[in-house]
Chain A
Amino acid sequence: MSPAKRAAEVSGLYVRFVGDAEVLEHIVERREGAKVPKGSVQKLLALKEDQGPQECEGSVGEQDYLDALGTGATAGEEDGGGGGGGSSGPGGSAVFTFQTAKRSHKMAQMASEMARAPGRTVTFCSPGSPEAAGSPSRGSRGAAGETRTPPKVRPTGGRGRDVRSPAGESWASRLNSFLPQGRKVRFVSSTPHRLRKRLAAPNLRSESDSDLSPSHSEDEEDDDEEEREEKEELREAELTTPSKVAAAALYRTPAKKPKKGLEPSLVEEYFTAHASSKVTTSDRTLQKLQTPKLDQETLARLLDGKPSSYADEINQLNKEHEKFFSKWMLQLQLGFNVLLYGLGSKKPLLERFRTSRLLGVTHLVVNGFFPSITLKSILNSITVEVLEHQGSFRSPVEQMDFIMKSLRQDPSLQVYLVIHNIDGPMLRSEKTQQALGQLASLTNVHVLASIDHINAPLVWDQAKLSLFNWLWYETTTYLPYAEETSYENSLLVQQSGALALSSLTHVLRSLTPNARGIFRLLAEFQLESRDNPSYSGLSFQEFYQRCREAFLVNSDVTLRTQLTEFRDHKLIRTKKGADSVEYLLIPVDPATLTDFLEKEDAQ
């Protein structure tokens, strides 16, 4: 039995000095989140000097606190009894971990770890070891000691990094990494007990439990792991840069001690991380890939029909959700509106609901993720398709009034609105949500919607929420967002430009030969200067000059008329330069433009 445990057991008889630590803990926990004035932090830290041995108690308290938080977050779910899939969700601290200080090849390392231990990787919680947390001092050392560029699979020497540490512990140790160097140095004078030991024998491999501080308690094991890792860390440091051992040790270990005064610096850390524009990522680009960019079609072809590794489980999960259908229907009829959230596309689920329950009744499907959907189009389809009204409206407000009035007058008409992604980019505006909310508040309009964006609930304020009268349902489906993401212009997807090309040819075909010539002139010029990164377009004067030379126009008025037509068809874009000269640009990528010219030539 370790002395620590013994101490804990006899604590009834044992008088300890706990005053400062206790007080400190209270003070700092109260202030968590709030910004503590600098002076007070320093004072608090100074107070800690004499409580080296009690530091572990502090961390236990913290863990309790976190446990409480975690249970607070999930308590409701756990007592639910007939809960859904997520009833056994982990505590808040496990889900919302704090960020670690990063190194350039962290990700590759992580990947290699996940690859090395495939059986366990799925379950790991974010690594809580100090090694992962990596003190800032390591960053600089890494830059000096190792080459940064190849994030190759780096053997990590089989350290116990996959250890699942309790949430509180990981939190605390992660916090440590946020202590800026400047502040740490202050602690050199108050070298705690443990540190002194370690400084005395930095490369002593088998430091036993008895070396631990006396009031060591339940998180002992993890702490042990930490200790060992730290030692390895030290050895490694010694090997690479022997002169830095002492310094590294001093930087590292005290950072562990002041667990309490750190919360405010987390906030500061956030801003320092975001203030500097310097980014430490490697400079490699996708150009290095031997496989070229994929276009949308290839992507769809590749992904189509490939079964997911979890197909069975996902199917099962979705079957579970389908059991709710009759309940949703009932709740919709009783004046509630149903909102689905959770990871995975909910479109198939809603589609199944629609086809199984809504076939006989009036319903309208809104694809909120569609990039060009507008409130007007939604309202139009209600007035035209549902209310069969042919007239037009001056403003959406008027249209809304009309819809509200006619729906109120005819309570027998029940309308079901199925909105995929009510948080879609085009529906996020205040006015749109207000209008949708007003629709939803009508007794004979029933809304069934889904959200996906993590910040989606911010769209609604209290008033809108009361209009919508949502019942939230968690439906995590894990299905790919195939349709929802197909409209987003992902970085990685090659823009085929097929659409742009066809529109170009169609518009130009209807123009006069002269106009075509003008456009061609501009296109050729743009292609010539495509290697010039600072090319901002052809200035109007120069363009006019060229057009004159090619006998395409005889006055700048003619050219302007022509350009206006181009602009109306969105074939060109004009930009005012710094010298207030107009620059003309074709907003199409060079490849499409080349294709276009080739096609023109072929004709």
Chain B
Amino acid sequence: QFYLSHKCVHCSSASGHFVFFIIYATRSLIIQIHQFILQEDLNKKMLDGLLEFVKKSAASFWCRDDDWMSRMRASEIPTAALVLGVNMPDHTITFESMTELLHDSLTPFVASVQAKECTGNRSYVWPGIKAFFPLPLQCHLCMSVCVCHLQKSPVKSPRKRLSSSQSEFLQSPPVVVIFRDLEAFSPQVLQDFILVCSQYVHQLPLVFIFGIATSPSTIQRMLPHSVSSLLCIELFQSLSCTQHLATIIDKLFLTSKFHFKFSAKVLQVLVGIFLYHDFSVCNFIKGLQLSLLEHFHSQPLSVLCCHKQEALVHAQQLNDRDVERIQQLPSFMRYVEEQVPEEQVQLLTSSEHVKGVCQKLLKSLHKYHKNFYPALRCLHVLTSILPKYPLGKQIRELYVLCLEKKVWETQEYDSAMQLIRMLAKDELVTCLQKCVEILTFCKSKKLKKVGQQLQDITATCEKLDSDRENDSSGKGLQKTDLFHLQKTLLEMKECRRTRRKTPYEILRNAVVDYIDNLVKTHLYPPESQPLYEVWYYSSSGTVRRHLNATPRTSIQTALSHPYCYLQNDSGIISSAAPDICIIYKLHLECGRLINLYDWLEAYATVATAAEGKDPSAIEGGKVDELKHARFIRAVSELEFLGFVKSTKQKTDHVARLTWGGC
């Protein structure tokens, strides 16, 4: 169902620009949808639990038992504390789907409040809630505000009215109040709100939901015991954002269904932004969208980056310009060089032939990916249980390694293989079973065969188990003195060295060889594949510049090294730097305050020299009007940029706002 919307591409393949746009648009849509599905799937467990919780608390409100426990409970407000993690912007989606879910399935009375809507002022809590609540309920809440304001003398009348109107609500569904960002609320507002609500807990089926970014202990920190004892808190934990990322990478990249791929560097940049900056999955998706757009924008051949059948059709329809582009692809050139001379001539001259070869290569590219990912997963299964994780704990680390170079040539791979050779049997068997599972589910025949072989090995391994048990005689260490112990140990060591390999060890070595073989045949880095540029986006610099920019460095570089930006064709750097650069450099030499007069004079010296005149000709106090004007402009520009500001500390001085050169 992924590529349904791709049909429209065919009809418009004439206008190249339009094609990529449509592909991109549909695809980013797909990603978005896909991501939403993922998110909901991931949070499904939590949401279901939550729903159950709200239902249960509502039920217990309506049919109260008379025993002591439920009476105790009845005076508490049921509260769900959701621990969501620090990536606040991502939570919006979660809360939206939660509100929708509750609204659709349980109760129309769902209010979602954010801290910034209710700052400080007590009565401010209500606007957010009012909008959702039916009129009679609003009266209640207003009443409670009254109560809140007249705390000294809790007025009797509202309560009376309340009890008279109580019957109206008996059948009403629960009232859910969601606090999206608990940490940001002012504790006083929250306390008051809870106190007020607790007075109505017998009349109203209230349920609170707290969204917590840090840790559950926040509740205790924000609310004193007297208040938190009014809540009956149940904790819900959402999936951590790293797990979320892992799932997305798993679903979007480690699959041959999705054809757009990242090169190792781009993936590293995006994961780096995620881990070191924001933990935001949304931002990661944004980076994905950006690189998708960049890829389709900058690589005209990306029309071939789609489903196999379509790609073949597109390849047939390529125009001469595109064929030329294909011929210029580095990977294609490498491929050409490997061919026999006649073939080379054919490939360089006949565009029809190129199209044919291109189709062939595209097929092999698809095939390569079909084999690549199962092999990668197998290797990950085996290496992720090793001590110290030589090839990375997460599959994305292994993936990056494999994308970068031939993984079997790395030192880490060697050590990993050595460690596998030392695995205990039960560990190995579980790993192998997982591998077999992966391999049998994949479509490629070759891999299925390997899976079959691995399964055989596993079976033999398990059979060994029973044999071994009979074999292992009671050769354990008996209670003995130190001397004897040493002696026995030495003997054992000796015998281990000379002993021939057990059947298990032989099998284990066979497994390692299989895996090694699997890796070496399927985990070639994508660069080795002809036409890989069509699928892989590799400009990590662009992604970094657009998502994780450093405006300050840019300004500073422009000021201190103008030649980085201002290069003319002749390559000669003229002496006259822009005024603002001169001014900036002079100001770097000053302390906290800068004397404007000195500054002006220094500037005039430089500027005069730049014009080719003798700087010593300037007499004190005589500055040409134009230079004065240029100086004024440059200084006000520096002021505008935030490097200096005017100060009253001393006449005709400005204060420097940056320390050192930065």
Contacts and interface: CB of A to CB of B under 8 A. Distances in A.
B183 interface: no
Contacts of B547: 471-472
Interface string B290-311: 1001000110000000000000
A27 interface: no
B175 to A, nearest CB: 23
A466 B88 CA distance: 10
Q: Which of B606, B643, B658 has the most C-beta atoms of chain A within 10 angstroms of its own C-beta?
A: B606
A530 interface: no
Given A331-B293, A342-B551, A151 B28 contact: no
Interface residues of B, number: 115
Interface stretch (A186-194, A216-224, A272-280, A357-365): A272-280
A88 B546 contact: no
Interface string A324-338: 000100110010100
Contact of B562 (A108, A330, A478, A485): A478
Contact of B592 (A279, A480, A488): A279
Nearest to A77: B541
Nearest to A430: B116
B127 to A, nearest CB: 9
A107 B622 contact: no
A194 B581 CA distance: 39
Given A107-B602, A285-B597, A457 B551 contact: yes
Given A82-B542, A310-B574, A89 B596 contact: no
B290 A471 contact: yes
Nearest to A341: B551
B563 to A, nearest CB: 6
A110 B623 CA distance: 18
Contact of B653 (A281, A294, A330, A473): A281
B598 A108 contact: yes
Nearest to A115: B609
A462 interface: yes
Contacts of A485: 633, 636-637, 639-640
Interface string B605-616: 110111000011
A96 B625 CA distance: 34
A344 B562 CA distance: 12
Contacts of A281: 590-591, 593-595, 598, 650, 653
Interface stretch (A232-240, A296-304, A513-521, A552-560): A296-304
A484 B576 CA distance: 24
Interface stretch (B96-104, B159-167, B358-366, B565-573): B565-573
B154 interface: no
Chain B: interface secondary structure? helix
Given A284-B597, A490-B632, A490-B635, A313 B621 contact: no
B654 interface: yes
A79 interface: yes
Interface residues of A, number: 114
Given A77-B545, A281-B650, A453 B591 contact: no
A491 B596 contact: yes
B137 interface: no
Interface in A75-131: 76-90, 92, 94-100, 102, 105-108, 110-112, 114-116, 118-119, 121-123, 125-126
A478 B558 contact: yes
Nearest to A306: B626
Interface of A: 73, 76-90, 92, 94-100, 102, 105-108, 110-112, 114-116, 118-119, 121-123, 125-126, 151, 153, 270, 273-274, 277, 279-282, 284-291, 294, 298-299, 302-303, 306, 308-310, 312-314, 316-317, 327, 330-331, 334, 336, 341-344, 369, 434, 451-457, 462-463, 465-467, 469, 471-474, 476, 478, 480-482, 484-485, 488, 490-493
7 contacts: A106-B590, A111-B586, A123-B573, A288-B597, A290-B622, A291-B623, A466-B280
Interface of B: 21, 24-25, 28, 88-89, 116, 265, 269, 278, 280, 282-283, 286, 289-290, 293, 297-298, 539-542, 544-568, 573-578, 580-582, 585-603, 605-606, 608-610, 615-616, 620-623, 625-626, 628-633, 635-637, 639-643, 646, 649-654, 658-662
Given A115-B615, A289-B600, A454-B552, 13 more contacts: A83-B541, A115-B610, A121-B575, A121-B606, A284-B652, A290-B621, A310-B576, A313-B565, A466-B282, A472-B547, A476-B565, A478-B566, A484-B640
